[in-house]
Amino acid sequence: MPVDLEIVSPEKLLLSRPVDMVVIPAAEGEMGVLVNHSPMIVLLRGGTIRLYEGNTIVDQLFVTGGFAEVTQARVTVLANEATPVRELTKAEGQSRLAAADAAYAAADKNDIVVLDLLMDRQQSARAMIEAAAA
Amino acid sequence: MPSLKTLRNRIASVKSTQKITSAMKMVAASKLRRAQSQAEAARPYAERMERMMASLGASVAGSPTAPKLLVGTGADKVHLLIPVTADRGLAGAFNSNIGRLTRNIAQRLEAEGRTVKILAVGRKGRDYLKREMASRLVGDISYAGRKSIGFADAEDIALRATAMLHAGEFDVCTVIYNKYVSVIAQIPTEMRLIPAPVPDVAPATEASGAQILYEYEPDEETMLARLLPQNMAIQIYRALLESAAGEHGARMSAMDNATRNAGDMIKRLSQTYNRARQANITRELIEIISGAEAL
């Protein structure tokens, strides 16, 4: 039985299709979701969402972070942006990393909320470079 | 009685005005369609976000360590108002409605002894509030010259408000925007942003109708700390989109009215013109006849 995957950005519904398994980059480690998974709400980090049909990967999308809601029949990914992995470029990731590093260096080191956010941005940029290289 | 030449000129000028207003109406109509489809495309995310907020908010709301964005600072002293207006005029009462509502709210709050700060979004609102209540204005944001607004713009506003909240610059934040009802109706609405109202929808249910108990990873509070700013940005984004659709709708009906008025005016002017022309002819005839009789 397939599980329905939906990837939504604030601007539009990006993807909606049934897949056999989806691997999502949860904040605490990658998570493979099959049908009848127990209901969860997870935080995502920057990484690749992999769509499986049988044992083959049919699509790979890079997300910079977001949330996912998992129910028994459905996976909903709320992401600010999702790019097909083959369209990623290393240069884009590097420029993002440079921007995030600069913002981190300039940030107030006592403001944990902002630092946390910026560290996430650095992580997501690094993940982007990695995904582009692979 | 104006001369025939001036009448002809006036008719020509009203005619070209009418052409402009009817062209503006067409442009507004096509922009309205685009704004509507953008608003529609944003709906799935907002709906799902609301569902998550509802199930999360309920489980954390009571705890004393709940984040500031959800419960506010606990005080009710300083209010931040964010009026959302358009960057352009010629849209009927669209912008002034927001200006007036903002002023009324500010006056009411001040009468209750609270401090008001205003962050104006859109050029028209900024201009109006600069005239009316410049001392309360703490900043403004404008998208003049931009084709369309994106989610990043809403995020910017949210970040700015969050930074101000953490700096202790206000306690309660309200967005004032034109809610899009239809092409001819936009309702100025106030929407509270901080403390965030927990959406009052029933927690997500699957087809079975049973309530789902979610596991959270990481824990609820970390999750909520991430979800809240995002939710705030989404609320602002929705307000921006509704306001954009409303603006085009308002402009469309304003320009429709203007076109009709111009038509009426042309009718009246050409009637006067024809009457004056006939009077001229009659006078000339009388002159010729009385000239001939005098011989």
Decide if B282 is inside a domain: no
pLDDT at residue B287 greater than cutoff 50? yes
Do residues A65 and A125 share a domain?
no
Q: Quote the pLDDT of residue B63.
A: 65
pLDDT confidence bin for B7, thresholds 50/70/90: very high
Decide if B113 is inside a domain: yes
Query: Taken in order B281, B286, B288, B289, is the CA torsion positive or negative?
Result: positive
Do residues A102 and A73 share a domain?
no
Decide if B97 is inside a domain: yes
pLDDT at residue A7 greater than cutoff 80? yes
Domain residues for B220?
A: 17-202+216-255
B269: left (phi over 0), alpha (psi -120 to 50) or beta: alpha
- Name the pTM for this structure: 0.84
Decide if B112 is inside a domain: yes
Do residues A9 and A35 share a domain?
yes
pLDDT at residue B204 greater than cutoff 50? no
- A81-103: pLDDT as tens digits: 888 888 888 888 888 898 888 88
Decide if B7 is inside a domain: no
pLDDT confidence bin for B237, thresholds 50/70/90: very high
Nearest of B89, B230, B75 to residue A67 by alpha carbon? B230
Q: Do B204 and A71 make contact, defined as CB atoms within 8 angstroms?
A: yes
Residues of A at the B interface (Cβ-Cβ below 8 Å)? 6, 8-13, 26-28, 38-43, 67, 69, 71-73, 76, 78, 80, 111, 113
* Residue B26: how many other CB atoms lie within 10 Å: 11
Judging contacts by C-beta atoms under 8 Å, the chain B residues touching residue A10 are 42, 45-46, 151, 154, 233-234, 237
Do residues A122 and A98 share a domain?
yes
- Give the containing element (helix H, strand E) for A96: helix A90-106
Kindly state the DSSP code that residue A109 receives in the 8-state scheme: T
Which ipTM did the prediction report? 0.82
pLDDT at residue A128 greater than cutoff 50? yes
Beta bridge partners, A53, equal: A56
Do residues A62 and A117 share a domain?
no
Decide if B121 is inside a domain: yes
Decide if B267 is inside a domain: no
Q: Do B226 and A67 make contact, defined as CB atoms within 8 angstroms?
A: yes
Question: Which residue type is seen at A68?
Answer: A
Do residues A128 and A96 share a domain?
yes
Contact A51, A19 (CB under 8 A): yes
CATH number of domain containing B125? 3.40.1380.10
Do residues A70 and A120 share a domain?
no
pLDDT at residue B32 greater than cutoff 70? yes
pLDDT at residue B108 greater than cutoff 50? yes
Quote the number of domains for chain B: 1
pLDDT at residue B209 greater than cutoff 60? no
Q: Quote the pLDDT of residue A8.
A: 92
Q: Quote the pLDDT of residue B1.
A: 66
Structure tokens at A103: 């913002």
CATH number of domain containing A18? 2.60.15.10
pLDDT confidence bin for B208, thresholds 50/70/90: very low
User: Under DSSP, is residue B257 helix (H, G, I), strand (E, B) or coil?
Assistant: helix
Domain residues for A22?
A: 3-85
Q: Helix and strand tally (H, E) in chain B?
A: 6, 6
d(CA B81, CA B176): 7
Judging contacts by C-beta atoms under 8 Å, the chain B residues touching residue A73 are 206
Nearest of B73, B112, B111, B57 to residue B225 by alpha carbon? B57
Q: Quote the pLDDT of residue B207.
A: 44
Q: Do B48 and A8 make contact, defined as CB atoms within 8 angstroms?
A: yes
Do residues A14 and A77 share a domain?
yes
Quote the number of domains for chain A: 2
